[in-house]
Chains A and B, each alone.
Chain A
Amino acid sequence: MKKIVTLIIIIAAVCMGNAKAGNVTFSPATFTANDQVTLTVDVSGTPLAGATEAYIWIFSNTTGGTAKDGVTTNTSWTNSPDAAKMVAAGTNKWSFTFIGATLFQQTPGELKDFGFLVKAKDGSKQTPDFKPFFFDPLVFTPSLMRIFPAKVDVTDAVTMYYERTLATTTDGQRMTPVNVVVTGLDENGNQVGNPVTIAVKVVATQIWAGSIIPSDNFVPTAGHKLTSFKYKFNGTLPDTSGNPTTVSSAETTVTFTAMK
C-alpha cells in the first residue's frame, strides 16, 4: 500500500511539473515558424500569480531535434532583458509576440515545437514549463508546370515538371508528355538562339520531367543578356478514332534570379 501511495505521489509530481497547455492561447490559433504569433498565458495558481511584471524564458524543440533558447530572451536567468518582458493581458494573464524562426534563429524545417515558462526578472520565481506547442509545417503547393530548384540562375541545372493530375483542361488531363520545348529570352523579351527540345521521362506516377542548363544552350548576342526562359510540354493523346494526336501545354515563363 505504501509503495502504491508513493508511486501515485511520484506520478502526480511529474504531471504537475509541466503546466497545463490549456492555460495558454494563441493568436492566430495555428501558425508556422515564419508567422508572427501572440501567446497569452494564465499564471493563476503558479508562483507568478499576482506579479506586477513577467518575463518569458522560451526554448525550441522540446520533443526532439536541435533545441535552442530564445536568442533575445534567454540571455540571463537572473536578469532577463527587456526583449523577454511580457505584456499584461488581464488578471494574471501575460502575452508575448514572436516569430519562431527569428526568435530561435532556426529554419522552419528545423523547428518542430517550443515550450516556455514565465519568470520574475531576477529568476526568483517561475512557473512550471508550458509545452509542447507545435509549429504547423510549411506546405509546398505543387503546380501543373514548375521547376526545380524554385529559383535558378542561368548556369544552374533546371528541371521542368509536368504533373498531369493538376491539369485543368481535358487535353491537359489526357496528354502524355513526350518532350519539353525551352526558349531563351533576353532582357527585351526577344528570343535567344533557337528553342531547345528535350525528351522527358516519367519521374513519378503522373509526373514527367526534363532538365536543361540554360547557359549551355542559349548564348545571347553581344550587348544582350539571357534573363528568362519559357517552356511548354508537347505530348500526345488519342483522338476519337484512337489515333495519337499531338497537343501542347500552355507556355510558362521563368525569370532568372541573379546569384553569386
Chain B
Amino acid sequence: MKKNIHLITMFVLAAVLLQACRPDSYKSVGTPVNALASLAGTWQITKVIQTDENAKNNGFNYGPINIQTMDLTSVFAYTDFKLTLNFTNGVPSTFTTTPGNSPKIIRLASGNWSVDNPSYPQVLTFANATDTARVTLGAYPVGSTTPVLKIAAQKRDASSGKLLISYSYEFSKK
C-alpha cells in the first residue's frame, strides 16, 4: 500500500513538472523599424557638440572648463538650420537646406540625396550638379514621440588621417 502511495505521488509530481515545461509564449517584437522612412520630413538643429578628439584620446582634463568637448548650440546660430528630406515612391529623392544665419553644416542648398544602405542607412549623400557632401548618421529618429535625428561629421588630418575633430548635430522634426 505504502509503495502504491509513493508511486502515485511520483506520478502526480512528474505530471505537474511536465505540465510546467510547456514553452513560454513570447510576445511579438513587432514589425521591423523602417529606418529609411523615419528620415523623411523637415528637421531643425537643436544641439551641436564639437569634440577635440586628440584631447579626448589623451584623456585631457582641466578643472575650470571642459577641454574635450564644447556645446556650440548657442555660440553660433546653428538652430536656424533646417534640412528637408523628401521621398518619391518610398525612395530618397530631393533635399533642401535652409541655413538662415547658421553655419552651413551641409554646403549644398538643394539637390538629390541617397543612402548607402536602404535597410540600415549609415551615410547620407547630398549631391547636385557641381558638388557632393556626405554625413554619417548618429542615430535613427525612431521609437520616440519626439524623434531626434543625429548626424555626425568627422575631420581628419589630411596627411596622416588621424581623427582630430568631430561634430555631433541633433535635429528635431518640424
Contact A109 B57 (CB under 8 A): yes
Given A107-B57, A148-B67, A216-B103, decide whether A140 and B62 contact each other with a Cβ distance below 8 A: yes
Closest CB in chain B relative to A118 CB, distance in Å:
29
- Residues in chain B near residue A2, CB distance under 8 A: none
Residues on A with C-beta less than 8 A from B62 are 140, 142
How far apart are A32's CB and chain B's nearest CB, in angstroms? Answer: 9
Asked if B50 and A149 sit within 8 Å, CB to CB, the answer is yes
- CB-CB under 8 A from B55, the residues of chain A are 140, 149-150
CA distance A167 to B44 in the complex (A): 42
Tell me if B159 and A157 are in contact (CB < 8 A).
no
Query: Is B26 engaged at the interface, CB distance under 8 Å to the other chain?
Result: no
Q: Which of B58, B67, B75, B155 contacts A108 (CB 8 A)?
A: B58
Shortest Cβ gap from B132 to chain A (Å): 14
Whether A157 touches B72, Cβ cut-off 8 Å, given contacts A138-B60, A207-B64, A260-B155, is yes
User: Which residues in B have their C-beta under 8 angstroms from that of A216?
Assistant: 103
- A156 contacts the other chain (CB 8 A): yes
Contact A207 B50 (CB under 8 A): no
Task: Tally A residues with Cβ within 8 Å of B.
Answer: 33
Closest partner residue, chain A, to B165 (CB atom): A149
A15 at the interface (CB under 8 A from B): no
Q: How far, in angstroms, from A148 to B50 measured CA to CA in the complex?
A: 9
- Which chain A positions have C-beta within 8 A of B61? 137, 140
B11 at the interface (CB under 8 A from A): no
Instruction: Check if A188 is an interface residue, CB within 8 A of chain B.
Output: no
Residue of A nearest to B51 (CB): A149
How distant is the Cα of A140 from the Cα of B55 in the complex, in angstroms? 8
B58 touches A259 (CB 8 A): no
Let me know if A168 is at the binding interface, CB within 8 A.
no
Which residues, 110 to 157 on B, are CB-close (under 8 Å) to A? 155-157
Besides the contacts A148-B67, A149-B54, what 7 more A-B pairs have beta carbons closer than 8 Å? A109-B60, A140-B67, A142-B62, A149-B164, A150-B55, A151-B164, A257-B158
Would you give 7 A-B contacts (Cβ < 8 Å), ordered by A?
A108-B58, A139-B60, A140-B60, A148-B52, A149-B54, A150-B54, A157-B76
* A interface list, Cβ under 8 A from B: 34, 107-110, 137-140, 142, 148-153, 156-157, 159, 161, 163, 203-207, 211, 213, 216, 257-260
